[in-house]
Chains A and B, each alone.
Chain A
Amino acid sequence: MSTFTNIGAIVRKEWQHYFGSPIAYAALFTWNALFSVFFLFALDYFLQASLNPGGGMGGPPKPNINEWIFRPTLMNMAVVALFVTPMLTMRLFAEEQRQGTWELLATSPITDWQIVLGKFFGAVSVYAMMIATSLLNFVVIFAIAEPRPEWKPVLTGALALLLMGSCFIALGGFLSSLTKNQIVAGILSFCLFLAIWTLSWLDNPMASGPVKVLAYLGVTTHMDDMVKGVLDTKDIIFYLSFIGFGLFLTQQSVESRRWRE
């Protein structure tokens, strides 16, 4: 029981940090502004495509809202997540170390795992809030579009975005635990996320063994199906194990700090 209260206490405190400083607002603003821009671009393309003559008989199929608006917007936001998540994770552990508050956490009756999980969920909840607020953009489409677009791919797409961002958050937390300097943690995270993202470029049907493995590790690769509305356990397991690995590394790094100091 106390496990949950302890994790909850850390989550609560992280929220106080996020919303007591400009970080959460900056992240929410950046995310929503970019989401709107991508959404508008996608909407514009869609409108142009649907006005093109030749639709219907004989020509190309009528553009579909899910495919033309929702999917590209969500896929673009995956790249935005790459920029925004370091903002959420860079200070998680580095700042505690710099301020000396780590000493409070480490000498309180709370385990390293509880601290690590509390911080992870604290950051993920803010990120989830970013996704939730931005999805309001789609509400308009659902209200006026005829025929109604499918809502399931939007949900699975949002879930994909959440899982993929959580991978970044878990990894970013780990990098933050390696240094006292949050700027260093932020830059490192950003570079690493970028590198992971480029791995997905390697993904093509012609790829050979090792290249395929690398492509498989590119976290955005696993979004494709989910954004299309296909929920594959393989992808979910990939994301969950990625997150688990990141959290494990963080816990190890936090624990080893006790021995190093």
Chain B
Amino acid sequence: MFSGSVRGGWIQPKAPARMATPRFSRRKGFLRMIEVADLRKSYGRFDAVSGVSFTVGRGEILGFLGPNGAGKTTTMRILTGYMPATSGRATVAGFDVFRSPMEAKRSVGYLPETPPVYPDLDVTSYLDFCARIKGVKSADRKARIDRAIEKARLGEVRHKLIGRLSKGYRQRVGIAQAILADPPVLILDEPTAGLDPQQIIETRDLIKSLGGDHTVILSTHILPEVSMTCGRVVIISKGRVVAEDTPENLTARLSSKGALRLEVRADTREAFDALRSVEGIVTVNPRGIASGNTILELQAEEGRDIRAAAARAIVAANIDLLSMSQVSLSLEDVFLELTTKDATQVSDVATRSEIFTPIVASEPRAESADHAPETPLAESADSKETR
């Protein structure tokens, strides 16, 4: 069933089309644990998922990324056998989720967006129930429950009613439920949503520790999470896969579009006028004013170094240049670049005549770029949307 794999070495994928794309060769021990081919789910005329295809190798942690409503949850629900697809094929651990749903379900641990817990049960009896319906043998049951409790660090609350637990603990109970029967595949729908920073780090570590033994699909719209936990990313937007690569490659692919950030002691107008003479600038975006200093971001033509020219122009205009730094694109920018068409068009089509028009569409970008990758701000804003 899982032919064409060399454990721990370079892989020779089956399909010749994949050979052409070198990014697959980075994957170790490529056994296809999850295969999704041209998956489609329509509600009347609306397509929630329109032709999604991807594969996940054994032991891989795949980040499933996309804005709200992109079709992440729908795809995951199809993979877990919660709902049937309109067309297309999906296999989990070699089992077709439509033809042999019971075997497929047995191979998957699933954490839905809201942890599926009964508030009126305590943690242990809840996990006991889960073990029973997941077909864990009665002899193994206690050991499995203890192991799940230990892995999800639920020891101190194991006899508490789930209804009395905090959101973070409930989420962990959900994770314990998913890993309980030790399935080869784990599908986690936004596992860190609603957790505090400490819990987020712990959960990420837990997920990382699960990779290797388990194949994990992790959906999120929190980008730092992806670069920290996932070996590979599939970005979907409006029901389609728009990119599939390692987080590093995705960032690298667009790093040439990185901007130059200037801090000058002048008002925006003066700075604009000073920069007007510089060759090779595509756009200038004001990024705010801090204690009388203006912060600007310059976008250069591709492959052109404008640092020296820009610095000279500012100084020549008798403006104090306070700092200058290269802004590399974060995953957020890549994400927006790929999921919003407008952003791409603006940067591609922009001409010199539009130079000094602040791009309104890129305002939220500014905010996220101002923060370090692990920004609780971005996370809380994101999680609000889902509620």
A residues within 8 Å of B by Cβ? 2, 5-6, 8-10, 12-13, 16-17, 20-21, 99-111, 258-259, 261
10 smallest A-B Cβ distances: which pairs?
A: A9-B132, A104-B116, A107-B80, A100-B114, A103-B112, A109-B105, A101-B116, A109-B106, A108-B133, A20-B120
- A17, A109, A110: which contacts B120 (Cβ < 8 A)? A17
Could you say which residues of chain A place their CB within 8 Å of the CB of B133?
A: 6, 9-10, 105, 108-110
Interface pair A21/B116, CB less than 8 Å apart: no
What 20 additional pairs, Cβ within 8 angstroms, besides A6-B133, A109-B106?
Answer: A8-B132, A13-B121, A17-B118, A21-B120, A99-B117, A100-B112, A100-B115, A100-B116, A101-B116, A102-B116, A104-B116, A107-B105, A107-B110, A109-B102, A109-B105, A109-B133, A109-B135, A258-B83, A258-B84, A261-B77
Q: Does B10 count as interface, using CB distance less than 8 angstroms?
A: no
**A110→B181 CA distance, assembly (Å):** 14
* Chain B nearest CB, measured from A2 CB (Å): 6
**A261→B116 CA distance, assembly (Å):** 17
Interface pair A106/B118, CB less than 8 Å apart: no
- Beta-carbon nearest neighbor of A115 in chain B: B133
Could you say which residues of chain B place their CB within 8 Å of the CB of A258?
A: 82-84
CB-contacts of B99-153 with A (<8 A): 102-103, 105-106, 108, 110, 112-121, 125, 129-130, 132-135
9 A-B contacts (beta carbon < 8 Å) = A9-B132, A99-B119, A101-B117, A103-B82, A106-B81, A107-B81, A107-B112, A109-B135, A261-B77
Residues of B within 8 A of A (CB-CB), count = 30
* Chain A nearest CB, measured from B85 CB (Å): 11
- A5, A101, A107, A110: which contacts B118 (Cβ < 8 A)? A101
**A101→B118 CA distance, assembly (Å):** 7
- Beta-carbon nearest neighbor of A261 in chain B: B83
**A105→B132 CA distance, assembly (Å):** 11
Interface pair A16/B108, CB less than 8 Å apart: no
* Secondary structure of the B contact surface, majority rule: loop
**A100→B77 CA distance, assembly (Å):** 13
Encode B165-198 as 1/0 by CB contact (under 8 A) with A: 0000000000001000000000000000000000
Interface pair A5/B132, CB less than 8 Å apart: yes
- B84, B108, B125, B132: which contacts A107 (Cβ < 8 A)? B108
Could you say which residues of chain A place their CB within 8 Å of the CB of B115?
A: 100
* Chain A nearest CB, measured from B316 CB (Å): 63
**A111→B81 CA distance, assembly (Å):** 11
- Beta-carbon nearest neighbor of B80 in chain A: A107
* Secondary structure of the A contact surface, majority rule: helix
**A8→B132 CA distance, assembly (Å):** 9
B residues within 8 Å of A by Cβ? 77, 80-84, 102-103, 105-106, 108, 110, 112-121, 125, 129-130, 132-135, 177
Could you say which residues of chain A place their CB within 8 Å of the CB of B119?
A: 99
**A13→B116 CA distance, assembly (Å):** 14
**A6→B135 CA distance, assembly (Å):** 8
Kindly name the residue among B105, B120, B125 whose own CB sees the greatest number of chain A CB atoms within 10 A.
Answer: B120
- Beta-carbon nearest neighbor of B120 in chain A: A20
- Beta-carbon nearest neighbor of A118 in chain B: B133
- Beta-carbon nearest neighbor of B134 in chain A: A108
* Chain B nearest CB, measured from A215 CB (Å): 41
Could you say which residues of chain B place their CB within 8 Å of the CB of A110?
A: 133
Could you say which residues of chain B place their CB within 8 Å of the CB of A13?
A: 118, 121, 129
* Chain A nearest CB, measured from B363 CB (Å): 35
**A82→B21 CA distance, assembly (Å):** 67
* Chain B nearest CB, measured from A107 CB (Å): 4
- B110, B113, B118: which contacts A99 (Cβ < 8 A)? B118
Could you say which residues of chain A place their CB within 8 Å of the CB of B102?
A: 109, 111
* Chain B nearest CB, measured from A1 CB (Å): 11
Assess A16 versus B121: contact at CB under 8 Å? Given A103-B116, A261-B83: yes
* Chain A nearest CB, measured from B94 CB (Å): 15
- Beta-carbon nearest neighbor of A105 in chain B: B133
**A13→B81 CA distance, assembly (Å):** 22
* Chain B nearest CB, measured from A232 CB (Å): 39
**A104→B130 CA distance, assembly (Å):** 8
**A107→B80 CA distance, assembly (Å):** 6
**A12→B141 CA distance, assembly (Å):** 16
- A9, A103, A111, A259: which contacts B84 (Cβ < 8 A)? A259
**A224→B84 CA distance, assembly (Å):** 47
- Beta-carbon nearest neighbor of A103 in chain B: B112
Could you say which residues of chain A place their CB within 8 Å of the CB of B113?
A: 100
**A210→B183 CA distance, assembly (Å):** 57
- Beta-carbon nearest neighbor of A9 in chain B: B132
**A21→B120 CA distance, assembly (Å):** 7
Could you say which residues of chain B place their CB within 8 Å of the CB of A111?
A: 102
**A38→B57 CA distance, assembly (Å):** 68
Could you say which residues of chain A place their CB within 8 Å of the CB of B84?
A: 258-259
Could you say which residues of chain B place their CB within 8 Å of the CB of A109?
A: 102-103, 105-106, 133-135
**A27→B84 CA distance, assembly (Å):** 39
